[in-house]
Amino acid sequence: MNTPLQPASTLADLAVVFPAASRVFRRHGLDYCCHGRRPVSEACAERGLDSASILLEITAETRPAAGPERWFDSPLPEIVEGIVSWYHARLRTELPLLLQMARKVEAVHAEKESVPRGLAAHVEALSATLLDHLDKEEQELFPLLLSGKAAAFAETIATLEREHEDVALALQKTRALTTNLVPPAEGCTTWRALYLRLDELEAELMEHVHLENNVLFRRALSATL
């Protein structure tokens, strides 16, 4: 679907093309599910919102095309700051919303054979695991890396890398529960938006883990500050 990010596009079309759109719509109380076949301009006018500002918010929250590459040659403190301010912050915001969406889809479509049964429980478990992992990195590992003592804590890094492998397995389970993140023909807008955002979560987690395993940890262990 080649849907332009413009006021004439409908809420539903934007929500199933741009992962950030459903986040922005929900924040402003715009119903992109049951009343999503309206142009953004019309829906915004009804609620006294400026459609141009809404579209700018969607643009601002869209994942940068450059990905993490901008940090690859940066000093370690800058890489750590980038990880915390972008990837960690995004996870803490997005995971609770994904859980709400998964619970809603399972509850509303419980009678459908295609419903992703068990997805909400899986997302809840994944959220708990990831949030605990983020806390370990921010409270324990990152301060040590920035102190220049990383080589003395190689075992801690190895433990976190094993946890990264567990995340990869969890992403495989997500795909197994969601028919490879492909919504069924009868899937509502929320269902489709959920799968789109789970796909983006997977992409960002892969970038996140790659940046830590192959750039941050490797450079820290070699004491390249």
213, with CB counted inside 10 A (0-12, 13-18, 19+), is middle
Do residues 163 and 169 make contact, with C-beta atoms less than 8 angstroms apart? no
Phi, psi of 39 (to 5 degrees): -60, 150
Q: Do both 106 and 17 map to the same domain?
A: no
pTM (global) more than 0.85: no
Read off the pLDDT of residues 63-90 as tens digits, 9 standing for 90 and up.
654 455 566 678 889 999 999 999 999 9
Q: Do both 82 and 115 map to the same domain?
A: yes
CA 217 to chain centre: 22
Q: Do both 29 and 91 map to the same domain?
A: no
State how many domains the chain has. Answer: 2
6 located within any domain: no
Q: Do both 152 and 186 map to the same domain?
A: yes
Do residues 195 and 175 make contact, with C-beta atoms less than 8 angstroms apart? no
Q: What is the mean pLDDT of the chain?
A: 89
5 located within any domain: no
Q: Do both 84 and 24 map to the same domain?
A: no
33 located within any domain: yes
156 located within any domain: yes
Instruction: Specify the higher pLDDT residue, 141 or 92.
Output: 92
d(CA 2, CA 56): 18
DSSP string, 2-36: ---SSTTSBHHHHHTT-HHHHHHHHHTT---STT-
Number of CB atoms found within 10 A of residue 172's CB: 11
Enumerate residues 6+ apart whose C-beta is below 8 A from 65.
none
Distances (CA, A) of 165 to 39, 46, 132, 138: 43, 47, 15, 19
Q: Do both 46 and 74 map to the same domain?
A: no
Q: Do both 157 and 174 map to the same domain?
A: yes
Read off the pLDDT of residues 9-55 as tens digits, 9 standing for 90 and up.
999 899 988 889 998 998 999 988 778 889 999 999 999 999 999 99
d(CA 29, CA 17): 19
pLDDT above 70 as % of the chain = 92
31 located within any domain: yes
Q: Do both 180 and 114 map to the same domain?
A: yes
> What is the extent of the structural domain holding 196?
67-221
Q: Do both 25 and 90 map to the same domain?
A: no
